[in-house]
Chains A and B, each alone.
Chain A
């Protein structure tokens, strides 16, 4: 390890501009003659649009245009699509309903965009939007997925009868049924995975500019994947061909998945900029963000797990209903299927698994990937049912887990995944030790003396990151390949620009990616610039989500670095008149190993560009590109331990300690990794104890501001204890696994297992708020009294 290389706690290069307020976010950008957009949104969850009267609005001061959905579709702008085709068990394709960027004849959730107003100022645009009169004929609405499947439920899209999008299955059902019927013990559990609002600090924003002379569009937008945005905007929405559309995602203030997708507003702004010949800017208000940012989770499942007489798992059967909201967002079909059910084996050796998933339309905001995306839902289910089973079987939950751990790798699960490396027992041991698990009974007794109920809970999570091998996801219906690209440009003076298709929106790529280059050539990270987020600069990229920037994005960079190093050695071998094989690159020099003969790094760069003395036939310059397509997913795993104290009088729950032992493979910057884990755990605590999206029966969003939607705050979490025990991933050159989502995946079950342990009632759904915990305590004591 060098001082700034792999494994060093380097302070983040990007933080200077962020903490001095000099970040450049989309909303900070203002073009010449900037015009502003405001959307007229549906106040109803479900209604026919019977008329739109824009006359009053059009007359108002500063109004440039008032545009509607009929005009948009009339101009040939295509519908929004879901980019991953998932078929039903019977082979029929999914029932995708039409989603126009501006609703034409029907609105399907509160917040659905109907009309776009473009005006000289934001205030004028908003005022005019209020003056547009939309006539609605209200229809009955449905908000819960289970209700939407019932006979006679309101029909959200005509082409999805019974609101069923698809009825999908994975695994061998008959084999699982047989295993469960022969099991010595079966544990059954009903599990609700609560719907969450993503809440990135920076709301969504878009600035679209049409250049009439060039017939060219530029879109600044809050995207985690500007190239994917351009691809979809070109190929499906017919806004402009790719070479006529530049997408730039400058500094982006958090995404958590919600900025992967292309939303109606970006499409509408691009189209409006062409219609008005003005640069059109829209920035979401926080209220609009609550209504329209794609939500996460929202599963209702029943699960049955069977054990033999030695407490070894014989089978797991799961039935899940997933709410996808009013429209299918870009990756919505993949989240509750391939990103979820493929992880139902957890860390355990389970021969038989079957999972049925029905995805459903409702009159709510679209649901798509949110930090963890499917994997938190899988982990919550597996780890809740394991803990429940341990209680029923009367064995220590840590021992039930240990007995069923997968111990040999590679391991093929019955649900597609091949786990390639891990040491689950080592993480479990490390976590138990750090949490003083053995000392828990004494702590429980001491708490009881103070009138408090103390509980402890575990979660041994596994997730699949680094998505994904392109051929594999292609065979499963993905509309894109999930490789990554990189370009390394060495300048004549030896400084380096690395262009990457990954996108940093808080992850710290400008630092960690530079560390890898610094380590490779022994250069200071100050000499390395990471360039990302602009389709005109970076040739292509699939972007950042699913903890893929390390395992996939960096692997592409490493491949390009390999090519640079090979050329550097050829040049130096030629100049120094030695064999390439005798050369090493270290400390900013290309050296003849074991001697003091060397060329300085910048001398090689200069030689490449002056081209005065290059090997015969070699092209001048020093620039290499690479595409990296992963061979496999990576599998971060670990064990979390949560210890809580409940006040029985009020149900208030305090997390006393939270211990994480993670296996992330190779760690480039431990400080940044710890930050990712801290944030992930806080978000996991948010899901477990605080956050939930609530619609009333009419489909009105009740949790529509921070007065009602509870974000985790510093006083909701303890100081975390974080440990690592790493096995390297054999699937990529650096051995990385990814760390961005683990906290959000492993935390919820650990917290709920701890609270249910404390209160002696396993019937508790998320978020476990004080009133719910108190009610569960009342129910438990009523039950005891009755017995």
Chain B
């Protein structure tokens, strides 16, 4: 790791100020991605601005079916939230399936979506839930937030403060873990809103990161069942091939995980 100056921000404004004062500042959340990258000397920020001291950014609020999760809420806190489990069990299950206990107790939802790893779990969840991403400057729809591999709509110096969504009538998530990293080799989140609108988001599979699957959405809008998934043909075009598996296998996994998510 290269030398770096550490700051503990006391508020979002303080973080913004410190970030803009630094030559190559970077926000630090749970550090589960950023710190390994720095240890490998692949990232060399001049300053780290730690968000962990900002109480406003932490916590899950459920009121009726409306849910808000602070950016600095850990995966473990989401996984262990009983109220959230009642209205949206799939997001709780998703959080509980991220990494291992150590990762879940450090890693945060804000860090995860700001990083937008193409194999991360949350992006699929937030996209399928039609979530809104709140920043210190604006609100961004999940559909517009995730813009490609490790890239988001966030501008320089913009900080994610929370995510919010209305819990759908029914939803589910299933992931096929990469055997080595246990990130999603393919993960599918299916959600059906009270208005009957179906959204299906796929992570881990697309060459451009998380995406919504139109074919599955259409089929499931007509018939919310695993038989409907069987009837969909999922193309391997635009899917990733890497040392772990090829695009054809990922295409197969999209269907298999969609069925598991429905079960």
Binding site for B on A (CB under 8 A): 123, 126-127, 130, 287, 649-651, 690, 694, 702-703, 706-711, 769-771, 774-775
Contact = CB atoms under 8 A, between A and B. Distances in A.
A651 to B, nearest CB: 8
B127 to A, nearest CB: 23
B180 A707 contact: yes
A286 B176 CA distance: 27
B252 A769 contact: no
A650 B256 contact: yes
19 contacts: A123-B1, A126-B41, A127-B2, A650-B176, A650-B253, A650-B256, A690-B179, A707-B180, A707-B181, A708-B180, A708-B181, A708-B243, A709-B180, A710-B179, A710-B180, A771-B245, A771-B246, A774-B249, A775-B249
A769 B244 contact: yes
Given A650-B256, A709-B180, A703 B40 contact: no
Nearest to A647: B256
B249 to A, nearest CB: 4
Contacts of A707: 180-181, 183
Interface string B98-111: 00000000000000
A775 B40 CA distance: 35
Given A703-B243, A774-B249, A775-B249, A649 B180 contact: no
B252 A650 contact: yes
Contact of A774 (B2, B179, B252): B252
Contacts of A710: 179-180
A690 B181 CA distance: 12
Contacts of B181: 706-708
A710 B1 CA distance: 25
A771 to B, nearest CB: 4
Interface of B: 1-3, 40-41, 176, 179-181, 183, 243-246, 249, 252-253, 256, 259
A771 B244 contact: yes
A710 B243 CA distance: 12
B43 to A, nearest CB: 14
Given A123-B3, A690-B179, A770-B179, 5 more contacts: A126-B41, A649-B256, A690-B180, A707-B181, A771-B244
A694 B180 CA distance: 13
The 3 A-B residue pairs with the shortest CB-CB distance, nearest first, are A771-B245, A710-B180, A771-B249
A707 B180 CA distance: 5
A582 to B, nearest CB: 65
Contacts of B179: 690, 710, 769-770
A710 B245 CA distance: 13
Nearest to A127: B2
Nearest to B176: A650
A127 B3 CA distance: 10
Central interface residue in A123, A650, A769, by most chain B CB within 10 Å: A650
B94 to A, nearest CB: 19
Contacts of A709: 180
A158 B89 CA distance: 64
Contacts of A127: 2
A771 B244 CA distance: 8
Question: Chain A interface mostly helix, strand, loop or mixed?
Answer: loop
Contact of B180 (A130, A287, A706, A771): A706
A702 B242 CA distance: 10
A155 to B, nearest CB: 27
A626 to B, nearest CB: 47
Given A650-B256, A707-B180, A707-B181, A694 B243 contact: yes
Interface centre among B1, B252, B259 (most CB of A within 10 A): B252
A703 B244 CA distance: 10
Contacts of A770: 176, 179, 245, 249
Contacts of B1: 123
Contacts of A649: 252, 256, 259
Nearest to A775: B249
Contacts of B180: 690, 706-711
B245 A769 contact: yes
Contacts of A694: 243
A123 B2 CA distance: 8
B201 to A, nearest CB: 20
Nearest to B186: A650
A650 B245 CA distance: 12
A707 B183 CA distance: 9
A567 B41 CA distance: 63
Contacts of B253: 650
Contacts of A775: 249
A710 to B, nearest CB: 4
A780 B216 CA distance: 28
Nearest to B183: A707
Nearest to B248: A775
Q: Which of A130, A710, A771 has the most CB of B within 10 A?
A: A771
Nearest to A707: B181
Contacts of A650: 176, 252-253, 256
B252 A702 contact: no
A197 to B, nearest CB: 12
B180 to A, nearest CB: 4
A558 B7 CA distance: 64
A287 B40 contact: yes
Nearest to B181: A707
B245 to A, nearest CB: 4
Nearest to B259: A649
A130 B154 CA distance: 32
B245 A702 contact: no
B107 to A, nearest CB: 15
Nearest to A649: B256
Contacts of B243: 694, 702-703, 708
B160 to A, nearest CB: 24
Interface centre among B2, B40, B176, B245 (most CB of A within 10 A): B245
Contacts of B244: 708, 769, 771
Contacts of A123: 1, 3
A287 B37 CA distance: 13
A709 B244 CA distance: 10
Contacts of A708: 180-181, 243-244
B259 to A, nearest CB: 8
Contacts of B176: 650, 770
A649 B226 CA distance: 13
A650 B40 CA distance: 34
Contacts of A774: 249, 252
A127 B181 CA distance: 29
A516 to B, nearest CB: 41
A245 B103 CA distance: 45
A690 B182 CA distance: 13
A706 B179 CA distance: 10
Contacts of B183: 707
Contacts of A287: 40
A127 B44 CA distance: 12
A774 B252 CA distance: 9
B204 to A, nearest CB: 13
A390 B249 CA distance: 31
Nearest to B246: A771
Contacts of B40: 287
A769 B1 CA distance: 34
A127 B2 CA distance: 8
B78 to A, nearest CB: 23
A694 B244 CA distance: 10
B70 to A, nearest CB: 28
A275 to B, nearest CB: 27
A130 B243 CA distance: 29
Nearest to B180: A710
A60 to B, nearest CB: 13
Nearest to A694: B243
A11 B165 CA distance: 55
Contacts of B259: 649
A126 B183 CA distance: 31
B3 to A, nearest CB: 8
A592 to B, nearest CB: 64
A770 B246 CA distance: 11
B174 to A, nearest CB: 11
